[in-house]
């Protein structure tokens, strides 16, 4: 599984920048998420410590499963890439930003993204999203920079206009309050381009692989309604915890124990019908203290 990361690095506009992640921690909604322990240095620490994350975040993402595999030694054009996509899920790529910063050099995310990745109850087929087909809005202006293996003939119909919503229900509140709204049409790369880039070494792609398209955030210039937050994770909303969230009476900078994050997404269907993915929800459970953590005995059973 790869989570594609939207970021402001220049390289991102020449080819997708992404990391590979674990499949063992992918869970269906509404599996609770335990606040993970990991290595990082807090402000008071003289050395890095193994401790619970204090910068727990969600990431609102669209992702797809591979059905028809790509054989090793084979490359795929962005157009034909779609023939390998089984269907789409809505995904919460939970992230621990303090652990992520610690792990960022020299080889990037490891444990910071390996404690829970929640996917929607429904896998939506590309056929059901036919009415949502559109052009990736940001790519046209940079079209001349797209490398040959990612040039897409059918660019104007290569991605989807799916409106994504994130809600947060804080402990003590009885409702999940809206935090952000954004559109997958604003993601720079199309799903076909992401798949084509991932396969471009000839590595082959296997049936069942899950490929994330990156956090769905709508750029400011394409989202003039300032009353709505348009960024799909707290890292972007709070500028890495430098500002409070301050949306719908929701304060703080990161996820708290007891918080329930709910994601929804809607695509336009035939005759005004709306096509959804089901709710992607997960409640944050407090960290397990080291003394409470289960360990395994020699037979691998809990003791």
Which parts of 200-259 interact with its own copies (CB under 8 A)? 200-206
Does residue number 131 form part of the binding site for its own copies (CB under 8 A)? no
Of the listed pieces 55-63, 98-106, 222-230, 239-247, which binds its own copies according to CB under 8 A?
Answer: 98-106
Options 56, 60, 62, 76; binder of its own copies; rule CB under 8 A: 76
Residues 6+ apart with CB under 8 A from 178: 165, 166, 167, 247, 248
151 vs 170 by CB, closer to its own copies? 151
- Distance set, CA 158 to CA 68, 90, 227, 259 (Å): 19, 18, 30, 36
Of the listed pieces 97-105, 219-227, 256-264, 269-277, which binds its own copies according to CB under 8 A?
Answer: 97-105
Per-residue DSSP letter, 111: G
Kindly state the smallest distance separating residue 11's Cβ from its own copies, in Å.
6
Of the listed pieces 80-88, 175-183, 215-223, 226-234, which binds its own copies according to CB under 8 A?
Answer: 80-88
Per-residue DSSP letter, 236: H
Of the listed pieces 131-139, 167-175, 249-257, 293-301, which binds its own copies according to CB under 8 A?
Answer: 293-301
Kindly state the smallest distance separating residue 193's Cβ from its own copies, in Å.
12
Kindly state the smallest distance separating residue 293's Cβ from its own copies, in Å.
5
- Residues 194, 4: contact at Cβ < 8 Å? yes
Does residue number 86 form part of the binding site for its own copies (CB under 8 A)? no
- Report angle CA 233, 237, 240 to the nearest 5 degrees: 90
Per-residue DSSP letter, 36: P
Please count the residues of the chain.
303
Does residue number 105 form part of the binding site for its own copies (CB under 8 A)? yes
Options 28, 42, 72, 246; binder of its own copies; rule CB under 8 A: 72
Does residue number 39 form part of the binding site for its own copies (CB under 8 A)? yes
Kindly state the smallest distance separating residue 45's Cβ from its own copies, in Å.
11
Does residue number 71 form part of the binding site for its own copies (CB under 8 A)? yes
Does residue number 46 form part of the binding site for its own copies (CB under 8 A)? no
92 vs 169 by CB, closer to its own copies? 92
Residues 6+ apart with CB under 8 A from 73: 202, 204
Closest CA to 30 of 135, 169, 216: 169
Burial class (CB in 10 A: 0-12, 13-18, 19+), 107: exposed
Closest CA to 264 of 254, 274, 272, 256: 274
Does residue number 184 form part of the binding site for its own copies (CB under 8 A)? no
Q: Supply 23's token pair.
A: 């499949």
Does residue number 198 form part of the binding site for its own copies (CB under 8 A)? yes
**How many residues make contact with its own copies (CB under 8 A)?**
75
Per-residue DSSP letter, 71: P
Kindly state the smallest distance separating residue 93's Cβ from its own copies, in Å.
12
Closest CA to 32 of 94, 89, 123, 90: 94
Does residue number 173 form part of the binding site for its own copies (CB under 8 A)? no
Of the listed pieces 34-42, 120-128, 186-194, 276-284, which binds its own copies according to CB under 8 A?
Answer: 34-42
Count of CA atoms in the C-beta half-sphere (13 A) of 162:
29
Burial class (CB in 10 A: 0-12, 13-18, 19+), 50: exposed
Query: What string marks each residue from 50 to 69 as x (binds its own copies by CB under 8 A) or -?
Result: x-----------------xx
Does residue number 11 form part of the binding site for its own copies (CB under 8 A)? yes
């Amino acid at each position: 599984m790869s989570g594609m990361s939207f970021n402001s690095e220049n390289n991102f506009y020449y080819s997708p920048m992404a990391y590979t992640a674990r499949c063992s921690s992918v869970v269906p909604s509404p599996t609770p998420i335990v606040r993970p322990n990991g290595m990082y240095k807090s402000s008071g620490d003289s050395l890095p410590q193994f401790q619970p994350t204090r910068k727990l975040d969600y990431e609102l993402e669209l992702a797809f499963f591979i059905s028809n595999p790509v054989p090793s030694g084979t490359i795929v054009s962005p157009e034909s890439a779609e023939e390998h996509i089984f269907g789409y899920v809505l995904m919460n790529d939970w992230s621990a930003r303090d652990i992520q910063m610690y792990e960022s050099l020299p080889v990037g995310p490891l444990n910071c993204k390996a404690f829970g990745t929640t996917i929607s109850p429904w896998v939506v087929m590309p056929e059901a999203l036919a009415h949502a087909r559109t052009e990736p809005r940001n790519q046209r202006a940079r079209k001349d920079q797209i490398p040959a293996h990612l040039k897409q003939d059918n660019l104007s119909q290569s991605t989807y206009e799916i409106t994504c919503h994130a809600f947060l229900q804080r402990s003590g509140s009885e409702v999940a309050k809206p935090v952000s709204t954004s559109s997958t049409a604003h993601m720079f790369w199309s799903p076909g381009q992401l798949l084509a880039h991932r396969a471009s070494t000839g590595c082959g792609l296997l049936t069942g692989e899950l490929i994330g398209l990156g956090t769905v955030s709508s750029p400011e210039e394409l989202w003039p309604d300032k009353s709505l937050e348009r960024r799909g994770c707290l890292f972007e909303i709070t500028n890495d915890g430098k500002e409070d969230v301050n949306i719908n009476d929701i304060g703080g900078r990161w996820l708290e124990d007891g918080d329930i994050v709910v994601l929804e997404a809607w695509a336009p269907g035939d005759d005004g019908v709306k096509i959804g993915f089901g709710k992607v929800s997960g409640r944050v459970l407090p960290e397990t203290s080291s003394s409470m953590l289960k360990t395994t005995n020699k037979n691998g059973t809990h003791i």
